[in-house]
Amino acid sequence: MNALVIKALAFAGVLIVATLVVIKQMNIDLSDPVNMITFIGAVAIAVLAFGVSAKYIAQMKTDTASGELAEENWDGIGEYKNELPGGWAYSFLGTMIWGMWYFTLGYPVNSFSQIGQWNEEVKAYNAKFEATNKNADAATLQQMGESIFLVQCAPCHGTTGDGLSGKAHDFVDGRISKKQVLAVIKNGSNQLGYQMGAMPPMMAQGKDAEDIAAYVAGGMKGEQPAAFAACASCHGADGKGMNGMAANIADYDENLITHVIKNGKKGAIGTMPAFHDRMTPVQIKALATYIKSLKGE
């Protein structure tokens, strides 16, 4: 062992000690296999880097070259016609064989699909989401509904759900406004896909329509106007939509939110696009829970 190798190993030793100091300082837990492997790797790099360079520097100092020179030379710098060292040649061949195995059997070039990865990820996540939230309690639904509302609904309905001063439906101020009720009575509605089917236009006119609108917009309190009978045949006497056969005009419920999310709506205020493939049933339920809570008294 010559002086150079000793110096190199000493240097490697210093590096290893430095690594240990860092481990101590940062309280790194070596019982974690990943940390341990990283540490062993660091030691190996230190020893190999300095050991190998020391070996070759020593060899350069003493080695002499021999063999037959090739014909061509570049500015006096020539090239020996020596055979490739056996180890190199075999490892080169080995990598070629490994390369063929890798591209065909080991990890075929067409085996990765970004879309496939997306499919798997989304499927796994959705399954997990459904399993965790199948029987979610009211508080979870409320919180989930709020976060969905803030992302998907707030751009039009506002972060507080007030409809941004008439730019979209107002969830805070009762169920529907007089203007909206009048517009639906006038135009009918066949957008929400309820089992009861289309609502024909002009079910009531003039004062009757006004009375109905005032009654519905007022939260269906007080005496029911006689003309409401026309509405009651589908929406029910209490306006709750006969268990989901028609739209609930008295209150927000899951059924109503589901139909609007699924079909979108064009009403007195403007157009709401359908959000059908953007939410799962659980999320719609959560959203309904949150929207119900927005309504001020």
Partner 1 sequence: MFHWLEKNPFFFAVGVFLVIAFAGLVTILPNFAESARPLKGLKPYTVLELAGKNVYMKDQCIACHSQLIRPFKAETDRYGQYSLSGEYAYDRPFLWGSKRTGPDLHRVGNYRTTDWHENHMWEPTSVVPGSIMPAYKHQFTNIADIATAYAEAVTVKNVFKTPYGNDIQPGVKAFEAYKPKVLAEAKKIAADMKNKDVKDAVAAGKIPEIVALIAYLNRLK
Q: How far is the CB of 274 from partner 1 (least distance, A)?
A: 8
Question: Is 19 within 8 Å of 43 (Cβ atoms)?
Answer: yes
Work out which of 2, 82, 95, 117 binds partner 1, going by CB under 8 A.
117
**What are the structure tokens assigned to 59, written together?**
């060899």
88 binds partner 1 (CB under 8 A): no
Q: How far is the CB of 281 from partner 1 (least distance, A)?
A: 16
Work out which of 17, 70, 202, 226 binds partner 1, going by CB under 8 A.
70
Work out which of 122, 127, 172, 198 binds partner 1, going by CB under 8 A.
122
137 binds partner 1 (CB under 8 A): no
Shorter beta-carbon distance to partner 1: residue 55 or 123: 123
Task: Return the closest-CA partner of residue 257 out of 294, 214, 217.
Answer: 294
200 binds partner 1 (CB under 8 A): no
Choose the binding region for partner 1 from 45-53, 58-66, 92-100, 110-118 (rule: CB under 8 A).
110-118
Read off the DSSP letter of residue 75: T
Distance CA 249, CA 217 (A): 9
167 binds partner 1 (CB under 8 A): yes
31 binds partner 1 (CB under 8 A): no
**Beta strand spans in the chain (E):** 265-266, 271-272
Work out which of 13, 41, 155, 281 binds partner 1, going by CB under 8 A.
155
Choose the binding region for partner 1 from 174-182, 197-205, 239-247, 269-277 (rule: CB under 8 A).
269-277
128 binds partner 1 (CB under 8 A): no
71 binds partner 1 (CB under 8 A): yes
**What are the structure tokens assigned to 28, written together?**
């790194």
265 binds partner 1 (CB under 8 A): no
Question: Is 260 within 8 Å of 192 (Cβ atoms)?
Answer: yes
Is residue 110 helix, strand or coil? coil
67 binds partner 1 (CB under 8 A): no
Distance CA 273, CA 291 (A): 18
118 binds partner 1 (CB under 8 A): yes
Distance CA 171, CA 173 (A): 6
Distance CA 24, CA 42 (A): 15
Strand partners, 271: 266
**Beta strand spans in 77-137 (E):** none
268 binds partner 1 (CB under 8 A): no
Strand partners, 77: 74
Work out which of 68, 75, 83, 277 binds partner 1, going by CB under 8 A.
277
With the CA atoms of 260, 263, 267 and 269 taken in that order, what torsion angle do they form, in degrees rounded to the nearest 10?
70
- Which residues are near partner 1 by CB under 8 A? 70-72, 114-115, 117-118, 121-122, 125, 151-152, 155-156, 159, 164, 167, 269-273, 275, 277-278
